[in-house]
Amino acid sequence: MHTNDDVTIIRCRADNYAYLMHDADSGETVLVDAPEAGPILEVLARRNWTLTHLLLTHHHDDHIEGTNALRDANPGLQVIGAAADAHRLPPLDRQVAPGDVIETAVGDFAVFDAPGHTVGHIAFHLPARAALFSGDSLMVHGCGRLFEGTAQQMFDTIARFMRLPGDTRICSGHDYAAANLAFAATCAPDAAALDARRAELPLLADKGHPTVGVTLAEDIRLNPYMRAHLPEVKAAVDMDGAPDLAVFAEIRRRKDAF
């Protein structure tokens, strides 16, 4: 567990993150994703908080497994997820669609369409806390594997995120930063940013700190999926002059085999 300003980042399972936010005046407490209940319940008990809202990004077990136990421990918990994916999510108290806004005391969450990793994936942007909860779509230094969706869908998803303010923090579903950075180093990243992040990651690990929370402005210097339009990136994958989408798809293909 680690508190990064106004978002508490909870380590779950082997490499998942869940995100907890609290409003002291109202007592409302919002969680994004529920990989497992134990670590989340421990933080709630330690702080004497009652969970009021649970926002789910997508249906994979490592993002929803803790839902029922959290509901049992927090009577009145409102579980919120994508209407398009309701058939494979836990029972939802509210079904949302891209463009909806979820109003809470910790701030208003804008619901983003975020397919690619899965077809029903959504993400949540919380401007009040400068955070994007991207699940397994945009990752720090990478993006999620295309299990159900297409390269076009993920390309469009990341393009939507790139229009957000540069100080928006990337709060993704997993700690894949080291592996993603190792691959990103093959795709013509910004050299200064690469050196700085290579030096930082082991320090974070030594302190038990999370690797998420970098801003869009920081990650755009490293993340090859946000850089597929750059000539140096196209050259790095032997695709000089190719369309941006084709380069993006090739980068994803190479990462799968990396």
Q: Give the pLDDT confidence of 214-224 residue by residue, as tens digits.
A: 999 999 999 99
Residue 4 pLDDT > 80, yes or no? no
Task: Give CA separation, 202 vs 87, 116, 170, 207, in Å.
Answer: 41, 30, 19, 9
Any idea of the CA torsion for 171, 221, 223, 140, to the nearest 10 degrees? -20
Report DSSP letters for 53-103, one per residue.
EEE-----HHHHTTHHHHHHHSTT-EEEEEGGGGGGSSPPSEEE-TT-EEE
> 237 is in which domain, residue-wise?
2-257
DSSP three-state, residue 70:
helix
| Averaged confidence pLDDT in the chain | 96
What pairing do the DSSP bridges indicate for beta strands 16-22 and 2-4?
unpaired
Q: Which of 135, 163, 139 is nearest to 212 (CA)?
A: 139
Q: Which residues pair with 174 in a beta bridge?
A: 16
Residues 247-252 have a mean pLDDT of 98
Q: Are 39 and 1 in contact (CB under 8 A)?
A: yes
Report the amino acid identity of residue 173: G
pLDDT for 108 equals 97
Number of compact structural domains in the chain? 1
DSSP three-state, residue 4:
strand
Q: What token pair was written down for 251?
A: 């980068």
Q: Which of 125, 143, 160 is nearest to 251 (CA)?
A: 143
pLDDT for 5 equals 54
Residues 30-59 have a mean pLDDT of 98
**pLDDT > 90 in the chain, percent:** 97
Residues 100-127 have a mean pLDDT of 97
Residue 1 pLDDT > 50, yes or no? no
Q: Which of 227, 211, 225, 143 is nearest to 177 (CA)?
A: 211
Q: Give the pLDDT confidence of 223-246 residue by residue, as tens digits.
A: 999 999 999 999 999 999 999 999
Q: Give the pLDDT confidence of 168-207 residue by residue, as tens digits.
A: 999 999 999 999 999 999 999 999 999 999 999 999 999 9
Residue 85 is given by DSSP the state G
CATH, residue 88 = 3.60.15.10
